[in-house]
Amino acid sequence: MSRVKKEILLCTVAIVLVLLNVVAHLLGGKMFVELPLAEVTVALTPLVMIFLGVVGLKVAGEQ
């Protein structure tokens, strides 16, 4: 993988992680508590974030 593609992928992973963090905080708010999948989505968000972090580390570690 070229250096530019690797940097674009890592920037994309970072942006997705930030968006997941913001969405999880919004879903955890009181006005979204009654949504049917809000609890499941908030519960799965850290797992997705950890997975994306591991993917980012593996991509960054490639030479």
pLDDT at 63 over 70: no
Q: What's the one-letter identity of residue 58?
A: K
Q: What is the pLDDT of residue 47?
A: 94
62 within 8 A of 9, measured Cβ to Cβ = no
Query: CA nearest 53: which of 24, 23, 21, 22?
Result: 21
Q: How confident is the model at residue 55 (pLDDT cuts 50, 70, 90)?
A: very high
Q: What is the pLDDT of residue 9?
A: 92
- Which pLDDT tens digit goes with each residue over 4-45? 999 999 999 999 999 999 988 887 877 777 888 888 888 899
How far CA 38 is from CA of 21, 33, 57, in Å, comes to 14, 7, 29
| Rounded mean pLDDT, 55-63 | 87
